[in-house]
Amino acid sequence: MGRYSAFEIFKQALSGHKNWPALWRDPVPKPRYDVIIIGGGGHGLATAYYLAKEHGIRNIAVLEKGWLGGGNTGRNTTIVRSNYMIPGNTEFYEHSMKLWEELSQDLNYNVMFSQRGQYNTFHNPAQRDAARRRANTLRANGIEAELVDASEMKARVPGLDYSANARFPILGAIYQQRAGTARHDAVAWGYARGADQLGVDIIQNCEVEEFIRDDQKIIGVRTTRGEICADKIGMAVAGHSSYVAAKAGLTLPIETHVLQAFVSEPLKPIFDTVISFGAAHFYISQSDKGGLVMGGDIDGYNSYAQRGGLPTMEHVFAAGVSFLPFLSRLKVLRQWGGVMDMSMDGSPIICKSPIDGLYINGGWCYGGFKATPASGWCFAHTIARDQPHRFNEKFSLDRFPRGYAIDERGAGPTPNAH
């Protein structure tokens, strides 16, 4: 399959666009690979892509129990930003941002990455101080960030409740110019196509049932499509990390929780940026189709159900309406829930597991989408070289017993508070 280009569009037009090749093959699993990646979401596919592209390992299978991008890659609010403050997170998410900026070119596939900026509002002097500190930290790390006052904010983002009577008066916002959104399905498809072109076998409808061991080492997996062996097996199954790890006898510092997201009926353009409410948990952007894409708190109790409850929906929109009063007139068109790996410090895990042959990528809480490129890039490095890159060396499992938790929110080991 060739590259996409203007010439290719012209050529395909001659046959009525009926002969575009499939984006990836549908191969029968081979009995043996160099590397198996469990999980065909954005992170797993990105890992396979970077293993093949950066490390020359091409004998790879990606095993997906359902269809590509059918998990959290298709269940998020598509926001990309890199405004993290704690060492470990700062450099990792900024690396991700840099990969995002080149991604469509790199994959030769339009992931519709739109750097429309992101505002995070503050509502009292203490929050303003915290925002200033965050902006300074970011700028000290070479990441552009700007503090915007209320009058400037009002000029740039009309429509918020700027009145003196607002429940939480807006004093200003911290703004990251390079933040934005991307088309979530395209990210999975683009990485899948890229990996497939480099020889990676993408195997769908193939669920891992158990691990095959040789003494202590894990040497393969037994799946719904037979036994498949590999020297190295990486799992990128966030939401179900505990479930898969338990098959290998591992207990992880993770609880699984449901996060809901919402899309309103389509409106004419009203927001050309991403906005997060600083006084409660609520964030909003507008899709190219006009729908307002919104999210907020997780439901708050352990759940593997890919659906959410009404009390949390009410809670999210109570926050939304206090920020954007016009929301009360809108109808929600779609709502969905995704299951999150909520880690004990709110930060992810990308490392070798304590078991030989098994590598772990998980614990993404609800920040996994923006991390997709760097997650795959770092996980590929960790698998290929058997040691972490400096961008993910702090995301180890042993940071918890060693006392090096990366707790951006400062909430402690209470996953439903991150």
Partner 1 sequence: MLRIDCPFCGLRDETEFTYGGDASRKRPQLEEKSLNVWNEYVFLRTNPMGGHQEYWLHQHGCRSWLKVTRNTVTHEITEVSFANPELET
Positions touching partner 1 (CB under 8 A) are: 240, 242-243, 246, 251-256, 300-305, 309-311, 344, 400-401, 413-416
Q: Residue 97 carries which side chain, given as an amino acid letter?
A: M
Q: Tell me the C-alpha distance between 23 and 10, whole Å.
A: 18
Min dist. Cβ of residue 39 to partner 1 (A): 16
Instruction: Decide whether 252 or 279 has the Cβ nearer to partner 1.
Output: 252
**DSSP secondary-structure letter at 114?**
B
User: What is each CA distance from 3 to 11, 25, 27, 51, 210, in whole angstroms?
Assistant: 12, 16, 21, 20, 38
Contacts of 264 (CB under 8 A, 6+ apart): 291, 292, 294, 327, 330, 331, 332, 333
DSSP-H helix ranges across 144-183: 150-156
Q: Looking at beta carbons only, is 336 or 400 nearer to partner 1?
A: 400
Rounded to the nearest whole angstrom, what is the least distance from the CB of residue 252 to partner 1 in the complex? 7
Q: Cβ(235)–Cβ(362) under 8 Å? A: yes
Beta-sheet pairing, 254-264 with 274-277: unpaired
| Nearer CB in complex with partner 1: 164/310 | 310
Beta bridge partners of 256: 341
Task: Find the shortest distance in angstroms from Cβ 262 to partner 1.
Answer: 17
Q: How far apart are CA 279 and CA 359, in angstroms?
A: 38
| CA–CA distance, 109 with 189 (Å, rounded to integer) | 8
| d(C-alpha 233, C-alpha 368), whole Å | 21
Least CB distance to partner 1 at residue 240 (A): 8
Q: Which is nearer to partner 1, 226 or 410 (CB)?
A: 410
Please identify, using beta-carbon distances, which residue of 272 and 314 lies nearer to partner 1.
314
Nearest to partner 1 of 201, 255 (CB atom): 255
User: What does DSSP assign to residue 415?
Assistant: G
Q: Which is nearer to partner 1, 134 or 240 (CB)?
A: 240
State the nearest-atom distance from the C-beta of 324 to partner 1, in Å. Answer: 24
Identity of residue 217: K
Name the minimum Å distance from CB 336 to partner 1: 16
- Structure tokens that stand for 77 in this block: 């609010």
Element (H, E) at 122: strand 118-122
Residue 309 C-beta: closest distance to partner 1, Å: 6
CB of 339 to partner 1, least distance (A): 9
For strands 358-362 and 349-352, give the pairing: antiparallel
Q: Are residues 354 and 252 in contact, defined by beta-carbon separation less than 8 angstroms? A: no
CB 74 within 8 Å of CB 370: no
Nearest CA-CA partner of 47 in 183, 191, 239, 208: 191
Please answer whether residues 348 and 365 qualify as being in contact, where contact means their C-beta atoms are separated by less than 8 angstroms: yes
CB 314, min distance to partner 1, A: 9
Structure tokens at 379: 């996980």
Minimum distance from CB of 238 to partner 1 (Å)? 12
Minimum distance from residue 416 beta carbon to partner 1 (Å): 6
Question: Of the two residues 273 and 396, which places its CB atom closer to partner 1 in the complex?
Answer: 396
- Nearest CB to partner 1, comparing residues 155 and 310: 310
Backbone Cα Rg of the chain? 22
Give 110: exposed, middle or buried? Use CB within 10 Å, 0-12, 13-18, 19+.
middle
Nearer Cβ to partner 1, position 230 or 258?
Answer: 258
Whichever of 24 and 317 has its CB closer to partner 1, that residue is 317
Instruction: Report helix angle 368-385 to 42-55, nearest 10.
Output: 40
